[in-house]
Every structure is written in C-alpha cells, then in structure tokens.
Structure 1
C-alpha cells in the first residue's frame, strides 16, 4: 500500500526546504513527504494523487502566498481530500486570518514561523493530528476504478468484462457517490465520455473497448508462434479440460476465448454438485483453478480474442482471429459452448445493459440491494442466480414457462429455492414486454394458467433461457444440426455412410466432426449433456482422440 502523503506548500524556497526536511526526518518512515512551491502546482499534484487513489493525511500550507493564499488553496483542496488534516503556517501578522480560517476551511491548527525547535513547536502538534487521522483512516481501494452510470450499457459491459476476467475493481456511480464526480474532475473528463476506467498508476481510458482494457491489463490477445499441435476455440469447462490434458501430455497448445476463461459456467454463483467439492464452489473459482492449472502446463491463453474463420490446408487447419492474424495447427477442438437465447419481446433489445441482462450478471448484484429482481428461466443457471440475488434483493421472482422446476432443475436447487423466503416462483408465466425510457421501469407478464396479464414495476430483469450455439462462423466448414449444434461421431453416419467429403479410411471418432482433425466438446456438440462435469469429461476425452488422429497423420 502506498504511504499516505504529507503535502507542504510554500512559495519561499528556503522555508519549503526547511519544513520538508523536518517532516522527512520525523515522518518519512511512515508517510510520503511532498513539496509544492505554489497553490496551483500543489492542486495539480493532488489531482494526480486522486487518480492514483493515494491518500493525503496532512496539508501544511503557508498562508501568505502570491496568486493563491493558503486559505484559498485549502478551499479547493478540501473537496479532493476532505479527511486530510489542515495546518496553516503564518507570520504573527497573519494570525487573525488563520483564526478566521478555522471557520471558513475548518483548519485544525495554525503554526507561527519560525517553528524551531521542531521537537517542541512542530512535532507535538503534528503527532496529535496524524494519530487522529490514522485512527479514522480507511485504506483506499488499490486497483482499477470505474466511473459510470448504472443504466449505461457501456458501463455494464466494462464491469462485466472485468468481473469475468476476475480483475478486482471499484465501481463508482456518478449519480450516487460524490467521489465519482471528484475523480471525473481530476481526470479532466466529463459525463459525455463515460465510462471512465482509472488504473492504479493514475492512467485512464474513457469509453474503452474490451480490447483496450485487455491491452492495458497486459492480457494476451496475440499468439506467440504461428503453429501449434492443438488449437482450442473456447475457454469454458470443456476447453479448459482439453487444454490441461493436451498440454500435460506434450502437445503445444493454445486456447482462444472471446470473453473470459470459464465461459458461461464461469459466471455461475455456486456449483454444488461438482464431484470433489462437497461444499460447492463458484464458477469463478473453478475457472481460476483451471486457468492456473493450464498455465502451469504451458498452455497459451488468448483472451479476449475471437476466432472468425477456419480453412483447411492439408494437413493443417488454419484459424483466422478477429484482429486479422492467423494461426495454424495439426488438430483443432471447438468448445465454444452456448449463449443464452435473446428475449424476443418489445423493448428488450433497446434496454439490454440498462436493466435487461443476459446471464447472472453478478456485477449488478450490489446495485439491486433492497429492490425487486426478476429472473426469466427455470434451469440450473436460473436457480443459482435466484439464490445468489436473494442475498441482496428485497424479493426475487422467477418467471418460468413450464409447469414446474422439476423438469429442468436439480433437486438440491429446488430445495434451496423453497427454503429461501424472498424467492417467489411463478410457473406457466412469460414476459411479453419490457418498458422504460433510458432504463428498465416495468415488465408485462402473462400467466397461462389464469390468462391474466400484469404490468409490474421492475429495475432489473435477468434472462437465462435456452441454449443458442454461436456457430454461424462455421457454416460450410463442419456439419451442424438445424439449431446450429455441431454433429460429431455416430451422429454424422447416415445409413452407415461417412459424411460427405470425408477423406480418411475410417469412421469419425466419437468427438470428431465432419472434417478430420477438427473435434468438438461440451455444450456446442449436438446431443451433449449440458452440465459442467460433462463438459470437463468431453474435453479430456477429446484429447485421447486427438492423439489417435495425430498418430495416423504422421505428426
């Protein structure tokens, strides 16, 4: 943690040097002593400290300075660091001004020049003030701060990206927290350029893209080499498992993930039926452990990065990335998982990110404190989200199209929901419209059982319905079913005939697609079991088939 600052301001170089020397001698071990020769330069330094979120414990300021007096400086400095102790240095003739400053800028003390010897006339006063400041000081957050508006889709995107990347950050809502406006002023920006992302070193990005944030954080988005034994597209449980097994068994491996490692499972608030974790673990914990394990074996992880195309150049498979670069490999595994289906009702598209969210969106949980939250969906992901948001929200209402939760949700979750007093489950109910100007204000729901339609006030609607594979970029490359899920193994065989264009004298392996050397694992595969453990199992099994494929093509 950075040392709190003691800032002394005086236009007299000799006085400034003397007071700086005395402060450094007594307090240099615990505090950072800063000097400024004018009020203007001192304010500029304070703005930099504010951008770096470094605290100021004390202002020791000369009253009689040209351009800006000590009192005038304190009037401008106080909004930046309101908790800092304030001491004026004055000559005897200025004591009346110093006394008036006790009321105008709430000075804590004034000292007459000269203060020699400091052991008697300086240190006892400052010791008392600094002890009082330390007793009440709360260390500032050290890390990234995001200034924005709760209902801004851009702000939500930035928060969600940082949360998925497991990067700690502090959210400052401009409409609620005065600190947000102070930080915006220190940065010299305005509300037209939100969100503002301020980094620990004081640097900042206004309205950044995810790629710009990733570059600043040092995340890897470009491959180190042009060729790998195995390229894995997708960083969910299936992709991470394949990466661990592939790299641990000697394959040079790169994994490309368009959002953050962990995939949809990584946003799960609690997974309680995963083997080996009797008290459960969060999706973020699972992703973090898996990423650490993969990197230990030398897996290269590109995130955020996206594969936009594949072409076959026998015996290689070449992938094109979103930045235009290309990487080739002997074997390719597609483990892109699925996304939540869009809610196709009036108003939903316009309010996405401004009260309408896809997935659990845990970054919005604190903002939902003491509010009514609605969750659309009846599978495990919706149940986990309901239990999680129930910790913060006044009431959580699950809107489920089916007649009950039993058809699509694990029993342990059903029991947890039943035992949580502020969760209400409305079955045979669907959302027919969402309403609001700049943010969600109400939803219209239809009850199939009663035929009744209601409009309910709402600030937050979380949608966790269905499974839509993101495989349009694979059109014309591998065979898919009518919904876009990738066909593999026996599902490719029709009347015992191999898929069209198949070039090898054998049937496709269990997890091999219609193109030899391109494999699939996890939720994106047709007829897969949509569970974390199943994805992990398929990812690890796929590596065994990849080894068999590589042994036959002579690599």
Structure 2
C-alpha cells in the first residue's frame, strides 16, 4: 500500500507557485515579523497532529517533510532548502499540522507565529500575495493527493464512510480512504480485529489512535480542528453561521479592524458550499463551484484574523446583558461573549412528508450533490426534487454521471423559481426529464441496504409511478435555522425567518433585529433574496451597521 505524495506536484505547472524560493531582499522584509531559531540535526521541527509554531522560513540547511499514516508507514513528501518556507493555510490560525518536519543537518530559520504571519500578509502586499497563494495551493495539493489527515477504514459504500468523507471534504481537510474490500492491508487490519468489525468505519490518526465510527464532533476534537480559546475571550462581533453571508461579514469586519469569531455546527460554506457550479456569480464568467468560492472566502477570513469555530453548535442566544454583553451558549455549556451578534445561520432544505424518509438519509436520500454522491449515480437513474437554483445546479451536475435525471416539481414549470440559464441547460440536456405537478409518495428499502425503490404521483394526470431508484436528492425550499433564538426576544415572521429593519431606535439599521446589537444577514433574514450574491452583499453591508452600533455603545459607556 502506498500513499500519494504532494511531491507529485513537481509535474504541475503550479509547482513554482506552491514552493517558491524567496530572495534575500524578501527574506529581510519578513525578518521583522519573525524570530530567529536554530535546529539541531534530526530535530523535529513540526509534529503531525499538533499545532505548529507558525510559518518557518529556512535560511540555511534543509528540512525534510514526511507523512505518518497511523499504521506505521512513513512516506517522504517534500524537502525545503534555503529561501523556502514550511506551512500551509492552516498556519494562519495555528491549526494542527498534517505532516512531520525534521532538520537535515543544522538548520537556521525564521519562525513567524500565526498572528504575525497575518500581519505580514496584509503589510507586505506583493510578498503576501505570493505566500498566500502558496499556502492555499499546498492545502489543495494535500487534499488532492491524500497526504496528511486521518485514514478512513471502511467500505466506499458505507453511509458512515460517506458521512465522514463529506465532513472532511466540506471543511477542506485531507484524508485517505482504505477500503477493506479492495485493499489487502485494510482487509488484514479488519481480520485481525474481528470483535471490532461492527465498529467500521474506523478513523486512524497519525499517532495510531483509532476512533470507531466517530461523530463529526469527536473527529474534530481528535484532529485539533477547534483551537484553544480562553474563557475570557471577548469579540466585537460573534457571527453564527459560516455560509457566504457569515464569511463575508467576517472578511469585511476583520479587514476593518473588528475582532470576530465565526461559529458553525458542521462546515463552512453552508448550502452554497454544496453547489456543483455557480455560473451567475459576478466576476466568474466561466462559473465556479460553490466549494471553491467559499473556500477562498474561508481562507480570506482567516487571513484577516477571524477566529473560526467548526464544528460548534450554538444552543441559545443570551440577550440579558448581565455583564453588558451578549453571549452565545454552546453545546457542552461553554459561552462566547461579544459586543454584537450577526445571525447568519441560514436555512435548511425542508423534508417532504414521506414515510420513513429519515431511515434513508445518508443512505440514498441526500440534501446536497457533490462528487462524493455523484460517483454512486454513475449509469443509474436519479431523482431531484425541487425547482430552485440549487436543484437546477444539481441536475446539470449529476447529468454528467447518471444515465437519467428526473427533476420533479409541484408547480407547472421552472421559469418562476429558477434562473433562466439553468432552465435552458436542463431543457437542452438529453438525459434530464422534467416532471411537473409531481410529488414523491413513498420510499422503499431497508436501513441496512439503503434506498431501493421510489414511488411518485403526477397530480395533473392522476397517475402513480414506481421505479427502482437508489438515489433521491431533495432541494424543496428552506426552513430557517432559528430555533436557538426562541427565548431571546429576536422577532421572527410566521415562517420563522428573522425580521430586520424595525424601529428599535432612531438610528436602526435595515439589518438590525428587534434586539439592539443583534443583526441578521443572508437566507435567515426575512425578505432576503436567497441568492449567494445577495448573502455576500448583506454580509458586507452589515459591517457599517456594526461600526455604528459599537461606536454608539462605547460612547454611552464612556
């Protein structure tokens, strides 16, 4: 068994961008942001699974980067020499390393801690651009090659394997999958531990620690995804939701000097992160995947110093201001204090009233369409329920893998709910069939094998249909994620979306809620346009209101 190496990027045209060699003048400019350090021959500089010291610029000597996969295998990755630097985008926020680094001979270096690295990136624009591009491309290379990150042991078709893959992929973390049905070493591991067979999938960390079918939160803790945060931490703004609206708020707030923390229960990107291709977003004439767009925003937010807590579920907003501040109560009892709060928790797709639907969630019923799900649709028939842009993007994307795609809507067509470019694309695709006035009526299968059969009814013709279909994708409107606001005084509309623009005071912002200092942006806000561009625009717009509120609050307490 071998693990792909990021060193294979040597054949890539972007290799020089991933591993640039800095000039002596550039290194001198970086020196004021770091501290000199010497390492002995064979001294460990970075340890996999543990936070590093930051970005390390090699002045003399060489540093060998290797990967440990948790099963005792050590593989070479790349070697750095004078003028090169160690690190990837995780160093912006002090996250755990995916690889090991050892000195090859005596090494002299400059160590730039995460906070000072962020200052370097903004203070030295041209140099910062080169460094930032390299850090991002290295993370992309790790993900594409499977270098670093945990080992997943389990069958490719296991729902829990897909669940863990989706979690890691959506959060831009590398991993490597060992399927015991095709990999001899993985099969040997399973055979040697028969009592643990029911515990598949396993997640094996670089230090050999093995987790048996962990939850996302358990996996995140083991991987060090959540950085240590002092209980006394205080932020200018706490942003609930890391979708486009929340990330935009973080980017613009932090770039203008505010301290911000972003919290999300699952992954950055929200529903936009699951969009296969967005073709009507300003500035991208050839289109861009949702994951690529929000991935850039996520890196940008970290560059400007936003603290990101994922996965982190907010249970309640405390507006009592017992200490003059707002507070978010988290799962597990911890609290996050802030002077203001931006609600960007978005909306989730509704579930149709079909019996046993939850039995098949993650086992044939999906609420997003990514390459992970698409590989199970190759040569098959699939159903997409919904008439909005997300449904249209999924239909176009899956038509490239599936034999036939059935798009089902309750209305008479798509024109009123979907962008025209998607309507045209669907009409032109020979393997996409549109079913109007149609609803799902039943799902059949078993909890073990997943979805096997689907029934639906055409209300206009009064006809019922049944087909052997194993994958159904649901995009049928949104329910706001506002349950955590139930007792804090934030006013909601009849559907549960947050009402803004109320006359809280004489200078109320159009994005401020009924509680002063609490704002709402994006899909969760009543009356918002429910588009990626609109969410990003509101995230930028709310920062001016934050400045106004915070300035007024400081003056009132002066």
Q: Identify whether the pair has TM-score above 0.5, normalized to the shorter chain.
A: yes
Contact 1:152 1:353 in 2 (8 A): no
Moved more, 167-176 or 526-535: 167-176
Moved more, 461-470 or 180-189: 180-189
Query: 3-state DSSP class of the match of 1:51?
Result: coil
Q: Distance in 2 between matches of 1:519 and 1:140?
A: 41
2:449 equivalent to 1:443: no
Match of 2:442 among 410, 426, 433: 433
The equivalent of 2:147 in structure 1 is 142
* Structure 1 unaligned regions, length at least 5: 5-47, 56-138, 493-497
Match of 1:487 among 475, 483, 499: 499
Q: Distance in 2 between matches of 1:415 and 1:375?
A: 17
Contact 1:163 1:363 in 2 (8 A): no
- CA positional deviation for 1:282: 0.7
Q: Distance in 2 between matches of 1:283 and 1:470?
A: 20
Match of 1:184 among 186, 190, 210: 190
- CA positional deviation for 1:539: 0.6
Distance change >3 Å, CA 141–CA 263, structure 1 → 2: closer
The equivalent of 1:233 in structure 2 is 240
* Structure 2 unaligned regions, length at least 5: 6-67, 76-143
The equivalent of 1:125 in structure 2 is none
Contact 1:51 1:203 in 2 (8 A): no
Q: Distance in 1 between matches of 2:423 and 2:474?
A: 18
User: TM-score when scaled to structure 2?
Assistant: 0.70
2:326 equivalent to 1:317: yes
Query: 3-state DSSP class of the match of 1:445?
Result: strand
Query: 3-state DSSP class of the match of 1:453?
Result: strand
Contact 1:375 1:382 in 2 (8 A): yes
Match of 2:314 among 296, 307, 311: 307
Residue by residue, what CA displacement relative to the aligned partner does 1:224-266 show, whole Å, maximum 9, x if unpaired?
A: 4521111101000000000001001111111111111111101
- CA positional deviation for 1:418: 2.3
Q: Distance in 1 between matches of 2:373 and 2:485?
A: 33
- CA positional deviation for 1:526: 0.3
Moved more, 178-187 or 348-357: 178-187
Residue by residue, what CA displacement relative to the aligned partner does 1:330-364 show, whole Å, maximum 9, x if unpaired?
A: 11100001101012201212111111112225422
The equivalent of 1:537 in structure 2 is 537
The equivalent of 1:357 in structure 2 is 366
Q: Distance in 1 between matches of 2:180 and 2:491?
A: 49
Q: Distance in 2 between matches of 1:274 and 1:394?
A: 29
Please tell me whether Structure 1 or Structure 2 has the larger radius of gyration of its CA atoms.
1
Contact 2:70 2:204 in 1 (8 A): no
Q: Distance in 1 between matches of 2:246 and 2:315?
A: 17
Residue by residue, what CA displacement relative to the aligned partner does 1:12-31 show, whole Å, maximum 9, x if unpaired?
A: xxxxxxxxxxxxxxxxxxxx
- CA positional deviation for 1:297: 0.7
The equivalent of 2:340 in structure 1 is 331
- CA positional deviation for 1:388: 1.4
Contact 1:354 1:440 in 2 (8 A): yes
- CA positional deviation for 1:184: 2.6
What RMSD over aligned residues (CA atoms) do the two structures have, in Å?
A: 2.6
User: TM-score when scaled to structure 1?
Assistant: 0.70
- CA positional deviation for 1:486: 0.3
Match of 1:476 among 459, 482, 487: 487
Contact 1:145 1:198 in 2 (8 A): yes
Contact 1:372 1:393 in 2 (8 A): yes
Q: Distance in 1 between matches of 2:550 and 2:410?
A: 47
- CA positional deviation for 1:416: 1.8
Q: Distance in 1 between matches of 2:387 and 2:366?
A: 16
Query: 3-state DSSP class of the match of 1:444?
Result: strand
Match of 2:214 among 202, 208, 219: 208
